[in-house]
Structures are given as structure tokens and as C-alpha cells.
Structure 1
Amino acid sequence: MKKNMGSADKIIRVIIAIVIAVLYFTGTISGTVGIIALIIGGVFLFTSVISNCPLYSIFGINTCKVPKK
């Protein structure tokens, strides 16, 4: 899998995933909306770990800095 996410994208996604988890586990969001938010947070966290976003691939976006040779 080719990396297409830069470090700024990864940091932002991890922060959003943490905020969603905190909101869910403190009871601020709950029910179906909370579960959907947790799933989205999990996807954000997973894509940050693997440094690849499938939607970026579809739309041809690449925020990963490639070292020049």
C-alpha cells in the first residue's frame, strides 16, 4: 500500500478520534449517533496508523511529502 497521508493529516485524525472517544465515553454523545461516531473515529485512527486513506486514492490526493532523489 502506498502512503498518501502526511504527518499533519495523521495528527489531526488521531486528535479527532480521541475527541470522539472522550465524548462517547463521557456520555456527551450516545445511542446510534455515538456508535456511528465511534466507527468514524476508529476509521480515522486506522487510516492514521497505516498512513493511507482510500478516499485520498480515489480523488488523487496525496499529502505525503516524497523525498526527492
Structure 2
Amino acid sequence: MKRNVGTLDRGLRIAAGLILIGLSLSGTIGLWGWIGLVPLATGVLRVCPGYSLLGISSCKAKG
């Protein structure tokens, strides 16, 4: 799949995912905090299926 998640977007997704998972593990929030796996995965893989469906890319244009 073509990358469509840029550097800043990637960092924010990874941070948000880790924070949600951490809060869930600490018991601060419930099990729904495991939804943080979604932004974590899209940040690590640099591919967002939602962006693909909408034709969006936060990557810098080449050239």
C-alpha cells in the first residue's frame, strides 16, 4: 500500500496510541483505551485506510 501518513501526523498518531494504551493499562480509563492500537498501527505502518478511501495524504509532495 502507498504511504499516506506524513511525519507530523505519524508522530501524533503514535503518541496518541501509546497514551491511550498506557492509560488503559494503568486502569485510568477502561478497556476502550485499547482503541489506541488503531492510531498506533496507522502511525507505525504509515498507511491510513480512511485516508485512502477519502483520497487524502499528509505526506509531503515529491518533486
The equivalent of 2:16 in structure 1 is 16
CA RMSD, 1 decimal = 1.1
The equivalent of 2:28 in structure 1 is 28
TM-score by length of structure 1 reads 0.81
Q: Distance in 1 between matches of 2:55 and 2:33?
A: 26
Q: Can you give the 5+ residue segments of structure 2 that lack an aligned partner in the other structure?
A: none
Residue identity opposite 2:29 in structure 1? I
TM-score by length of structure 2 reads 0.88
Q: Can you give the 5+ residue segments of structure 1 that lack an aligned partner in the other structure?
A: none
Residue identity opposite 1:22 in structure 2? G
Q: Distance in 2 between matches of 1:15 and 1:62?
A: 19
Structure 1: which 4+ aligned runs deviate by more than 3 Å?
A: none
The equivalent of 2:60 in structure 1 is 65
Q: Which of structures 1 and 2 has the bigger CA Rg?
A: 1
Residue identity opposite 2:8 in structure 1? A
How much does 1:44 deviate?
Answer: 1.1
How much does 1:37 deviate?
Answer: 2.6
